[in-house]
């Protein structure tokens, strides 16, 4: 998401982070049954924020581990990494690094050689990973740190937003009092629901 005026964007976004070292945990549900968990645990220091999301899914067909990390400085994305392993093997990995005039995006799929995707213009201050931390109030686009591209954000109801991924699939994020409470997504061929655990509500 391009930041036209930093202070304006920060004023529009409801900033809610869990306390340092305090993980927020979501149950991952497939057809109503728990198949794993996802945790978010930010670490703040100085003028930067380190956001980290880790999900682990275990089904009779797939064992999926997803990790995404963002490093911000003064509200602007400095670097991000997104990786997904399926059954112990790397399926995809995307790295985004801020350079002097753009973001350099490098992608790896399986055992294939790394390739550079189209560069992204400065600045990015909101990513798919950050959706677990901040409600996307008044946002029209955000950066997918997995796909290395901008994605449209559609408000569908009070506290509910659809993010349209580059492959056309939609992921819905639902918020209550600024906190992400539920996510409905499609990962590794599975329709999944990420639902916050009661003990994590309000953190």
Domain count, the chain: 1
| Secondary structure (3-state) at 198 | helix
Task: Give the domain extent around 104.
Answer: 6-200
* Average model confidence (pLDDT) across the chain: 86
Q: Is residue 148 part of a domain?
A: yes
Q: State residue 15's pLDDT score.
A: 38
Mean pLDDT, residues 25-54 taken together: 86
For 129, phi then psi, to 5°, come to -60, -40
* CA atoms of 110 and 106, how far apart (whole Å): 13
Cβ-contact 97, 83 below 8 angstroms: no
pLDDT digits (tens, 9 = 90+) for 111-131: 888 899 888 998 999 999 999
Mean pLDDT, residues 64-84 taken together: 94
Q: Is residue 16 part of a domain?
A: yes
Q: Is residue 1 part of a domain?
A: no
pLDDT band with cut points at 50, 70 and 90 for residue 9: very low
pLDDT digits (tens, 9 = 90+) for 18-33: 545 578 999 999 989 9
pLDDT band with cut points at 50, 70 and 90 for residue 60: confident
Q: State residue 36's pLDDT score.
A: 94
* CA atoms of 176 and 183, how far apart (whole Å): 12
Q: State residue 106's pLDDT score.
A: 96
């Amino acid at each position: 998401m391009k930041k036209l005026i930093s202070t304006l964007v920060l004023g529009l976004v409801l900033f809610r982070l869990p306390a340092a070292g305090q993980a927020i945990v979501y149950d991952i549900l497939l057809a109503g049954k728990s198949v794993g968990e996802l945790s978010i645990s930010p670490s703040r220091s100085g003028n930067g924020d380190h956001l980290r999301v880790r999900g682990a899914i275990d089904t009779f067909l797939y064992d999926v581990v997803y990790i995404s990390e963002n490093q911000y400085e003064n509200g602007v994305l400095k670097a991000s990494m997104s990786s997904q392993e399926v059954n112990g093997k790397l399926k995809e990995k995307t790295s985004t690094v801020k350079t002097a005039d753009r973001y350099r995006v490098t992608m790896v799929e399986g055992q294939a050689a790394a390739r550079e995707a189209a560069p992204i213009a400065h600045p990015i201050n909101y990513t798919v990973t950050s959706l677990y931390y901040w409600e996307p109030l008044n946002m029209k686009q955000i950066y997918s740190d997995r796909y290395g591209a901008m994605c449209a954000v559609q408000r569908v109801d009070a506290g509910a937003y659809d993010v349209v991924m580059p492959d056309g699939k939609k992921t819905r994020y639902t918020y209550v009092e600024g906190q992400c409470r539920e996510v409905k997504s499609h990962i590794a061929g599975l329709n999944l629901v990420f639902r916050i655990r009661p003990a994590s509500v309000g953190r």
